[in-house]
Structure formats: C-alpha cells, structure tokens
Structure 1
Amino acid sequence: MKRITIYFTAGLFLLGIATSCKKTTSSSSSKTGMAYNNKYNGGFEVNNKVKAGPGPGLIAIEGGTFVMGGSLNQDLGYEFDNVRRRVTVASFYMDETEVANVDWLEYLHWIKRTYPTDAEYYYNALPDTLVWRQPLSYNEPYVNNYLRHPAFQDYPVVGVSWEQANDYCVWRTDRVNEEILRRGGYLLDYKTLAGGGKGGAPAATTTAKDPFNTDIYLNGQFRGEGIDGKKMKKDLNPNSAAAGTATTGKGGPVRPVRLEDGILKQPYRLPTEAEWEYAALSLAGNTEYENIADGKIYPWNGLGVRSPKKRTQGMIYANFKRGDGDNMGTGGYLNDKADITAPVRYYIPNDFGLYNMAGNVSEWTADVYRKLSFEDFADFNPYRGNEFVNKRLTDKQKGLYAKDKYGRPIKDPAPSSKKQTWAELQGKGTKADSSALSGKPYKPDFRGFKDTVNANLYGITSLVNDRSRVYKGGSWNDRAYWLNPATRRFMQQDEGSAEIGFRAAMTLVGSPEINPQGKPQFPKYKSKAKAK
C-alpha cells in the first residue's frame, strides 16, 4: 500500500505559530492604493498570508470526492441506511489517535484546580465507569481501575457520552489557544502569573474573573492587568488611543490578537460522519492521478484482517472479537494482543496516519442519525444535525457577549439563517419582524422544517430521535463486519458505553491541497495594475 502519511510533530506545531507571527506585509491595497499597516492613514492591518498548521495531536487529511457507503460490500442487517452516493469532503485535521484516559484525566485535573468547590462540574465531566458492569461477567475491576490506573493511561477513554465529548472539545480549544497566546507573550505567561518570575515575585494581580475562553478573548472581553502579555501586537488604529480602549506597551498602544492575525487555532470538534468515513477509508493511499487503483472494505488493503507480510504474517490488523467467546485468541499466542481495549497507538496506522480507525473502540461522530440520511445529505461536506446558534449579547451597541458561570459565551437558537437587520438586533423591528423572531428557532433540517406532524413520530414509533447520534468503526467487542467504515449505528447522546470512545477534528482553513510539492501548478502572476 502506498503510504502518504504526513506527520506534524511538536516542532512543526511551534513553527506554525512562528510563521503566523511574521512581520506584517507593507504592501498597499490594489483597489484603493492606500498602504496597509500604516498608523498615519487609519492603521488598516493586513498580515502576510499564512496557512495555519494543525493543533496538537492532529494530522492533515486532504479532502476530495468519494462514494459514501461504497465500501459496504454486504449489508448483513438489510438496513439500507448507507446507500451509495458520491460526496465531497473538504480538507480537515483529525486526531492521530483516540482520546486516551490520560487526556481525560488532564481535563478532570483542570476542572478540579480551576473550580475546586464546584463538585457538580467535576461530577458531570466524569465518564460513566459503570459501563463495565455486566450482571453475568466479572468486569468489576475495570470500574475503578480502567480510567485512573497508570497501566491504562494510554488506552482510549470510554463511558463518555456524545455531550461530554463535545464539552471536552470546547475545553481543549481554549487550552490550546491559551497556550499559544501565553507562549507567544500575547497573554501573561504562566510562570509570572503564578509568581515564579524574577526574584520570586508574587503572583500578578489579575482582573480576570473567569478562565480564558477563545470567543470571549476574540471579542475583546479578556484583557487588563494581570492578563495582557509583554509582547502584544502593536495597535495601529489611531482611534483606539483616542477612545481610551488601547493598552499602552513599551512601543506605544498595543492590542490583543485578532482572528485576522492567523495565530489562533480553529475549534476542536467531533468529525462529521462523512469526514470520519472518508478518513477511515483513506483511499488517497491507493490513488494516483485521480485514479483509484484498488478499493477497500477496511482501513487497510485486502479482503482479510491478517497481515500477509513475511515479518508480521498472520497478525491481526485491529482489535475486535473474532467469534463467540474469542476476544484475544489462545494463551501463549494471542492474536490481537488485547482482551478489552488496546493502547491508542497500537496496530498499524492507515494511509492517512490515523491509528485504530477500525476496532478498539467505536467512535462518536457529530451527526444526528436518520436511516434515510443519504436522501437529504448535501453532496459537499454532508452533515445532519445543524442547529444554528447566536451568541447572546449583554450590550447590543458594543457587541459584548453574555457569559455563563464558567466564562463561556451563552448561545441561543438562531431565529433565522440570515443576518438580522440592525433594528431586529436591537429589538426595534416592525410588528412583522418581532413576530417572526418570536417564533420557533430556525432549524435547517428539511424534514423538521416542512413536516409538522410526522416529525413527532421519531422517538415514539421508533428509537430514533433528534438526540440519536451516529457512531462508527467497530470495537473490541464487535465482529469484523463492523470494522467496515461504511457501517453505522446510533445511540442517545447522553449515554455512554464501554465500547465507544472518540477522537476530535478541526476545520482546515485556506487551500485544500496538503502537499503541493511535485504536482503541476499554474504559474502565479502578479497584477500589473498600479495606483497613480
């Protein structure tokens, strides 16, 4: 098989930060002729164009077209819930491994350290370790040991609901971006904040009442004494100093990082079902000049589950259940080397460099389950479950976000799919406007929008409802059939299982081509038009 794995190490991650912090360009606008980054003409800042690298733990997945459901060569349950259709998935980033127990313990430690008296927050973040209990099986030792014992620290976390997985992604986004800002000097560094500066200075007095949050920071609501770093960006806008909103540094007015600077990472999130299936199948390894040499029914090539190579001949490629009562083979020669789960970096990665995309644990995806999703999917970035939200404003004139008790923006169901008028935003619209805004939240789900009767049958005449989420990939306790990336099952989003874990994804911004070297490219021409 042709390996196209692209590994992004910690060094490249740091390099990605460094390239985002290059000196800004000094060119001028091709449409007005005005110079960029000039504090005397208004201070409009334009940074050098950069392509942000992946966040920690992620690998680049070059997108493209593929046949979703196409790898399912037999539908044993006659479900017909993943009928073949061609779709396109945009390039994105995905966790190299499943989220491990040690990763979840880091999350729990942060909660306990940051909110030592909030027992409810900590309790709600705990995985349901009771998922190991079976009335006729002695799994009780896993209840106490699996999450916390160091022997299992690199095993995938289980007993985590879809909702908990999403909460973890939100937390991880904030911690990664906070680390970038503190390491780069845009926020006060951890050592100084904790009182470990020169001469053992006491901890800095901070005006921050809440932990760092990316959205709140980007909205200018996370700054002040004990927050701002020593290497903040220069503020070239003369109005900032005049309005008294600029912080003064050694070189004059300074400002927080903006999204336009290209320094912060995109949010971590659960992958969509289409992204997950595309990444697991990894057909890019079998592709040359847009020709797919061979299809797959597993994340590896071939029809079997054992290695044909001389040095590893007969070894099983994934952690799954070979048959009734056979979870690991015969003592003295274990077949998949695992009885329950296995370490997240065990077995061979697929052609994208992703580990355990079949077996070990099934994995949550972002999608709401519908048996006939394929009938309604868009053919570009298909996803079922979109519910648009808006951040609630406390000051509509200034655009300040309302925060919950953990310092995160409060999000409300969006009343529309389009931008509101200024009058609507201020609550000063016409009677027709106000009645429209006071109706049901806008839901882009076609069925929910059009069907006011039969939509209620979901969850009443079947087990499927809007809280049913897709999980994929097969687990340590599943037969080989479920290792096929096209198979799909569902479970309620507030439930957990000893057989389900997850990995995160991140949107890739900019050009979708991951590795353009050695591929034909059109020459890039610079504009000859000049302002006079």
Structure 2
Amino acid sequence: MKFKAILFLGLSVLLASCGLFKKDGGGFGKNKNVSSTTGWSYNDPDNGGFQTDLDYQQFAGPGLRFIQGGTFTMGRVEQDVMYDWNNMPRRVTVASFYMDETEVSNLDYREYLYWIQRVYPENMQKYEAALPDTLVWREELGYNEPYLMNYFRHPAYSKYPVVGVSWEQAEAYCKWRTDRVNEQILIDRGILDHDLSQSGQNVFTSESYLAGLYEGVAGNKPMEDAAGNSRRVKWEDGILMPNYRLPTEAEWEYAAYGLIGNTEGELLTERKIYPWNGSYLRDDSRKDRGQLNANFIRGRGDLMGMAGALNDNADITAPVDSYNPNDYGLYCMAGNVNEWVADVYRPLSMQDMNEFQPFRGTVYTRYKRDADGNLIRNEFGELQVDTIADYRNFNDGDYQSQIIEGQDWNTEKNNIATDDMYVKSDQDGQLSSLISDNVRVYKGGSWKDRPYWLIPGTRRYKEQTESTNDLGFRCAMTRVGSPQGF
C-alpha cells in the first residue's frame, strides 16, 4: 500500500511538471484563452480587452472550390507544335487556394452591371466601361449578327460564359465581387443592414470599410469589444474574406490538371495531357462512353458534329457547368472559352520565376494621402494608390527592373526605357513586338480552338484592353493559414 502511494505521488509530480495539470498558461493547446507570452487573458475586459480568435478556419466564398496545393511540373507535356518555346517544363509548388467552380456567366456579369447602374445612375461612363464588347461576334463573311443582341442579354444564354470582356474588366469584376461578398457577410451577421441608398463616395468597399471611411447602416447585432461596446470589424477578426482575383498562371494550370486524383502518397501515378486521364478526347466511362470531354472544334468546319449525333452539343459556347468536372470539381477547364490569368506574358518566364508561387506581374502600391494625412478616395468611394515598385520586367533583360516613383527612369546618362527591350518598328515611336507590360496570359482553349490549346500547359497572350468572343475568365481566392487545416 505504501509503495502504491509513493508511485502515485511520483506520477503526479511528473505529470504536473509536464504542464498537464495546469489550468492557465502553457502556450497553444493548453489554455487558448491565456497568452503564452504574458499570461494575460484574451477577450477579457478586466485584462485590457485584447481580442483574438484562435479557432479561425477559412471557409470557401460563394461559387468557390478548395484547391489543395502542392508540387507539379508546370509547362509543356507534348511536342511544341507552335515552336513558341514559351512553356518549358519546370517543377514548382503552388499554395492551397480557392477557384470558381465554373467560368463567370452572363448572368453573373449582368448582376454586376445592374449594381453599377443602380448605385451610379448619373455616371454612364462607369457603366459603359464595364460593358462587354458584343461586337466581338461580328465576322465579315459570317452571319453572327444575332449574337450581338442575344448572347449577353437573352435569358437563353444566362448560364453561358461571358465573353467580350478584357483583362481590365475582369479585374474590376473581381474587386466588385469581393466587396459585395464581404458586405453580405456583415449583413448576415447583423453588423450592417442593407443600404440601398449608398452612392458616390459613400459606397461599401472592403478597403474603405476597414479604413473607417464607409458610413453604413448599423445592424441589430453590431460588433462588440470585450467590454460590450460597439466597434467596427477589423481584419484581425477574420470575418471579412480575402480578395476575389484572377488566378495566377501557375494556379490556373495546377487546378486544371487536377492531379489530386492521380497520386498514391507522394507518387504521381499518371501524368495528364488534358484535365482528364488518358490521351483521348472522348469519355471512356461506361456511363458517358464516346461523349466528348470538352467543347472545341474537332476539325475544319466541324464545330458540333452531325445532326442527330451532335458531338459536343455546342455550336458556339456551352453552359458553364457542361461536361464532366475534373478531379477538383472544376468545369470547363479545357474548351468552351479561354480564360484570362493574372500574369504578364514573357516567353521565358518559366526560367525566371520563383519555385514557390511563381508569378510575373507583381506591382507594389501604397494608399495615397492628402496634405493632412487623410486617405484619398475617388468619386466611386475607392481608395487611391501610388505605385512604389513594379516588378513586371524583373529579370527579363530590362536595364532597370524596378520602377520607383521619384526616380528618373529615362535618364540622360543612359537614355534607356522599357520600350528599348522590344523590337522597334520602321515607324518612329512604334513597336513591332506584341509583348509589353500590358500583355496578359490566357489559357484553356475554346469552342473554336483545336485540341492542342486544350492542354493546360499551353499559353497565349493578348493586350489587357482587348477582348474576343472566345475569351472569358473565372475568379480565385487566396487561402490563409495552413494548406489543409490541422
């Protein structure tokens, strides 16, 4: 009996020394309501009221699918039939992120235009700047006139991908979507009420709200500090979502392949050519055997097959949720419409970019302030920024890769500017190269492309202000925290 008592006492001392019997302190996993560095309690007005949420887990925003990141070989997987030599294979790692399940549809984009027209009724210039270019359907020797009126506006095409949208318009849509999603989150929580009268500078944007500039209508459940006093939501609360944005080229290509279904542990069992397994363009499953996996042009003059046996059931585009999704649950990552990505185009970007999160197009900014130090908004309530560094030209042969405001880019001493890296035209002041800082990558293939362009590793480029009738986009969102949760 005496031996048992001594043994029990010894175990108690050992466990106590390990901190298992502690009620306070001890760091993460011990008492999450107490600081492991100061011993002060979190979320306690008697201890100063510092607030935090250690149980935060990000959830997918509306329309998004979770894409678990990892390593993959980015670039060419078959013969470079175009001899562009612009997608040489390179192993990279992509962080986890979120991506739209489908391409942005006409219905989605019409909602955006409706909001602009409702909130800025006096400013037709902003509305017209967001309008898709329906003239992209015109062909000099083809009867496409019905699409000018019908494709974007008619409800028969509501679930079809929006086209005629430039890269700049796609970027603006992503920003608008971020603000509307975050505004709705605050409304759903009762922190704000719907304010249908907002207009001009007093329009909800995520940035202006966080900066304390948006004067909205308070809801019936305002955010409170530890003492119960009303306050604004802060970024540290984890309530507002990260920005919707265009995916990077690496993210888009990684998501298109959907290699999560082709692994055993860390072993890749099958390298894909397309977003589906195998080298064939038709489905080999028992259910859909023989059906095409994507919307593309099968051969000269054959866009949809013979009557009675339409091969892809789409003369032009198809609804955004057509065909079978890939292993990430994403639709139409090959065919239907090409898709804008965030990157600036350079043929040799694969040799220059980072191994982790490769991206060309980084531009650093900071908010503009007036003489009194106040943030500056434009007439639409958007915070204005200054560019402080531009890395779109980094490591591409340019004399000075970083542009910093206040420095002389084109000095008399060297007289070298960005344009000097491009091929000059015979006409003074003109360039014959199509590559510039405003040319963006697009990927995926479309309803009028041959199968080669359906391969996720292929890439093309276009001026960011241009648009076509086979080019759309989808949005992505950064995942914060761990790649998959702990």
**With structure 2 as the length reference, what TM-score do the two structures score?**
0.85
Q: Offset of 1:208 from its aligned partner?
A: 8.9
SS at match of 2:118: helix
SS at match of 1:394: coil
Return the match for 2:212 from 207, 220, 239: 220
**Correspondence 1:43 to 2:38:** no
**Correspondence 1:481 to 2:471:** no
Q: Offset of 1:228 from its aligned partner?
A: 2.2
**Correspondence 1:183 to 2:181:** no
Mapped partners of 2:118, 2:444: distance in 1: 35
Q: Offset of 1:453 from its aligned partner?
A: 7.5
**Correspondence 1:271 to 2:276:** no
Q: Is residue 52–residue 263 contact of structure 1 (8 Å, CA) maintained in 2?
A: no
Return the match for 2:133 from 128, 132, 150: 128
**Correspondence 1:156 to 2:157:** no
Q: Offset of 1:438 from its aligned partner?
A: 1.7
Return the match for 1:99 from 101, 104, 117: 104
Q: Is residue 207–residue 227 contact of structure 1 (8 Å, CA) maintained in 2?
A: no
Return the match for 1:59 from 57, 62, 65: 65
2:380 alignment counterpart: 406
Q: How does 1:226-305 map to 2 (within 5 A)?
A: 227-236=217-226, 252-305=228-281
Amino acid at match of 1:339: D
1:494 alignment counterpart: 465
SS at match of 2:174: helix
Q: Is residue 201–residue 377 contact of structure 2 (8 Å, CA) maintained in 1?
A: no
Q: How does 1:20-39 map to 2 (within 5 A)?
A: 27-39=33-45
Distance 1:83 1:396, change over 3 A: farther
1:521 alignment counterpart: none
Q: Is residue 68–residue 95 contact of structure 2 (8 Å, CA) maintained in 1?
A: yes
Amino acid at match of 2:209: Y
Q: Offset of 1:158 from its aligned partner?
A: 0.1
Q: How does 1:344-423 map to 2 (within 5 A)?
A: 344-394=320-370, 400-414=374-388
The worse-fitting range, judged by mean Cα deviation, of 468-477 and 226-235 is 226-235
Q: Is residue 59–residue 94 contact of structure 1 (8 Å, CA) maintained in 2?
A: yes
Mapped partners of 1:513, 1:174: distance in 2: 26
SS at match of 1:255: coil
Over residues 31-57 of structure 1, what are the superposed CA-to-partner deviations in whole Å (9 max), with x where a residue is unaligned?
A: 111111222332211123311111100
SS at match of 1:40: helix
SS at match of 1:48: coil
Over residues 470-510 of structure 1, what are the superposed CA-to-partner deviations in whole Å (9 max), with x where a residue is unaligned?
A: 00000000001100000000000000000100000000001
Distance 1:340 1:234, change over 3 A: same
Q: Offset of 1:440 from its aligned partner?
A: 5.4
Mapped partners of 2:389, 2:109: distance in 1: 35
2:443 alignment counterpart: 472
Mapped partners of 1:85, 1:130: distance in 2: 39
Q: Is residue 208–residue 222 contact of structure 1 (8 Å, CA) maintained in 2?
A: no
Mapped partners of 1:209, 1:168: distance in 2: 18
Q: Is residue 98–residue 478 contact of structure 2 (8 Å, CA) maintained in 1?
A: yes
Return the match for 2:406 from 433, 438, 443: 438
Mapped partners of 2:450, 2:149: distance in 1: 27
Q: Is residue 422–residue 433 contact of structure 2 (8 Å, CA) maintained in 1?
A: no
Q: Is residue 216–residue 401 contact of structure 1 (8 Å, CA) maintained in 2?
A: no
Distance 1:207 1:360, change over 3 A: closer
The worse-fitting range, judged by mean Cα deviation, of 361-370 and 253-262 is 253-262
Mapped partners of 2:164, 2:382: distance in 1: 25
Mapped partners of 1:394, 1:236: distance in 2: 34
RMSD: 2.2
The worse-fitting range, judged by mean Cα deviation, of 483-492 and 28-37 is 28-37
SS at match of 2:440: strand
Figure out how many residues of one structure are paired with residues of the other and give that number. 433
Distance 1:26 1:185, change over 3 A: farther
Mapped partners of 1:116, 1:208: distance in 2: 10
Structure 1 residues not aligned, in runs of 5+: 1-24, 195-202, 238-251, 418-435, 442-449, 517-532
SS at match of 1:381: coil
SS at match of 1:109: helix
Over residues 198-253 of structure 1, what are the superposed CA-to-partner deviations in whole Å (9 max), with x where a residue is unaligned?
A: xxxxx9xx899521010111112224xx522221221248xxxxxxxxxxxxxx52
Q: Determine what percentage of the aligned residue pairs are the same residue.
A: 52
Q: Is residue 120–residue 200 contact of structure 2 (8 Å, CA) maintained in 1?
A: no
Q: Is residue 154–residue 343 contact of structure 1 (8 Å, CA) maintained in 2?
A: yes
SS at match of 1:217: helix
